[in-house]
Amino acid sequence: MRNEVQLIAYADRLGGDLPGLTRLLRGPLAGAFGGVHVLPFFTPYDGADAGFDPVDHTAVDPRLGSWDDVRELATTHDTVVDLIVNHVSAESAAFGDARARGDASPHAGMFLTMSSVFPDGATEEDLTRIYRPRPGLPFTPIRLGDRLRYVWTTFTPQQIDIDVRSPAGTAYLTSILDAVAGAGVTLVRLDAVGYAVKTPGTTCFMTPETFAFIEEFTGQARARGVDVLVEVHSYFRRQIEIGRSVDLVYDFALPPLVLHALYTGDGTVLARWMAERPANSVTVLDTHDGIGVIDVGPDQTVQPGEPPRPGLLEPAQVDALVHGIHARTGGASERATGAAASNLDLYQVNSTFYDALGGDDHAYLAARAIQLFTPGVPQVYYVGALAGGNDLDLLSRTGVGRDINRHHYTPAEVESALARPVVAALLDLCRFRNTLPAFDGGVEVELVGSVLRMTRRGVAEPAATAHLAVDLADASATIGWTTADGASGRTSDLLAAPPRA
């Protein structure tokens, strides 16, 4: 996979469908993105959870295109696809058969129930130990055949958890992996994999059994020429541990730490994180989910009697960060966050990253420059790529908090956004990151007062260098560079004169 910036996008919400997304990437976005994470395009892409509840995970929704369209996209761009390993839709054919026939169904063993995980029964302590992303227990009463069962539903009653260790579950996941590998996909993202293995007497989240499953599945993917990106929002030290056993892991601590640094003018924690974060990271500031705060806070899985495990930020700093986002969005994020708007995850703040910085173009470009100078593969969410604001109309229509950051762009809106100076500057910054051969090694970080300095030096081309200085107190930023042939340049206003190596 090439070391270039990647786009994250729903095909229907940016290009209209897969061919439309391809045209944008090869047209006005050319050079800015060397790869694309296409959010779920399976049947149906517009289900209960915006495609993360597939009825048929091996089929492209015909309203968006076909596997041939995915193959065509992959001829010019590294293509990342979601593998939803934890659950399927309650409307899937397999679960429908299990619901109709109960234990007589050949698919019955594919789905987890309370009794299949706790065959000897569960104590109150067993149940309260289970970690999940929303209040309450992860069970939904559903009649399977002639019996009412407590079916395991980590996220919503429409998303039925799979027994990934069962023969039927294993065959199902293998069929998905074969389908995406056959379409030329470069990287698969294991969605919600932290919840995939349920072990009695544990939190059922990122346990040793989970790590073993991730390692085994990664081996299967690599055998098909596909790399694995693990998606887990959790305590920061757990992310470091995950990074040791997979190809790539998200740096979900980066977004809140960048906001904290720009809000306070203090880059101490951000600079310290640069020294210990996993080197094999995908860096993001925004995704289709909210801005995570659990990733910088204390460990939420600590059990009674265990010593606390502090986070990167103190609880008071996390609170100040959340209130800072709410203030800068004029309260819009508060309307979309927590119990206010049917959220699955109470540990994320729902807002576009642009609005989380108060719509300040200079602060936004400074934040993106920090992201692009941080080692790893950068990904930019489509709303962020167009410096989009919070979609309060969509939030009002759906009542789903995360929709505030999931705007449906018309072709006219895309054209208008591309004409904005902040968007043009961001795309040029991405092209600079893609073309200057200074970003294949580590980073040197120095904090002098409120000024964060980051230096990247080429490994394959040692003469190529890139230097970033951001004054966190006022978000002013300067970039300087030297090319492999010794030419140099400098810009002190990313909005007026973005770098072009």
Binding-site sequence positions for substrate: 49, 87, 189-191, 231, 288-289, 345-348, 402
Strand locations in 395-461 (E): 443-448, 451-457
| Kind plus residue range of the DSSP H or E element containing 355 | helix 353-356
State how far the Cα of 438 lies from the Cα of 465, in Å rounded to an integer: 5
User: Residue 405 is which amino acid?
Assistant: N
Find, among 440, 451, 441, 335, the residue nearest to 394 by Cα: 335
Instruction: Give the list of residues 6+ apart from residue 410 with CB closer than 8 angstroms, or none.
Output: none
At position 442, the amino acid (one-letter code) is G
- 17, 61, 82, 191: the active-site residue: 191
Distance CA 287, CA 421 (A): 22
Is 231 catalytic? The answer is yes
Is 317 strand, coil or helix? helix
Name residue 230's amino acid. Answer: V
Pairwise CA distance, residues 225 & 219, whole Å: 10
Query: Following DSSP, what letter does each residue of 3-48 receive, concatenated?
Result: SS-EEEE-HHHHTSSHHHHHHHHHTTTTTT-SEEEE---EEPTTST
Judge if the upstream peptide bond of residue 44 is cis by omega within 30 degrees of 0.
yes
Element (H, E) at 223: helix 208-223
- Judged by DSSP in three states, 397 sits in helix
What letter does residue 302 receive in the DSSP assignment? P
Rounded CA Rg of the chain? 22
SS3 64: coil
Question: Residue 57's closest CA among 8, 114, 20, 110?
Answer: 110
Between CA 287 and CA 80 the distance in angstroms is: 14
E strands of 44-155, at which residues? 56-60, 78-84, 87-89, 139-144, 147-152
Q: For the chain, give the number of residues.
A: 501
Find the catalytic residue in 17, 231, 251, 334: 231
CA–CA separation, 320 and 85 (whole Å): 35
- List the structure tokens of 329: 């969005």
Q: What contacts 72, CB < 8 A, 6 or more positions away?
A: 19, 22
Q: How many CB atoms lie within 10 A of CB 25?
A: 23
Given a contact cutoff of 8 angstroms between Cβ atoms, the answer to whether 477 and 364 are in contact is no
- The answer to whether residue 91 is catalytic is no
| Separation between Cα atoms, residue 21 and residue 439, nearest integer Å | 27
Which positions are annotated as active-site residues? 191, 231
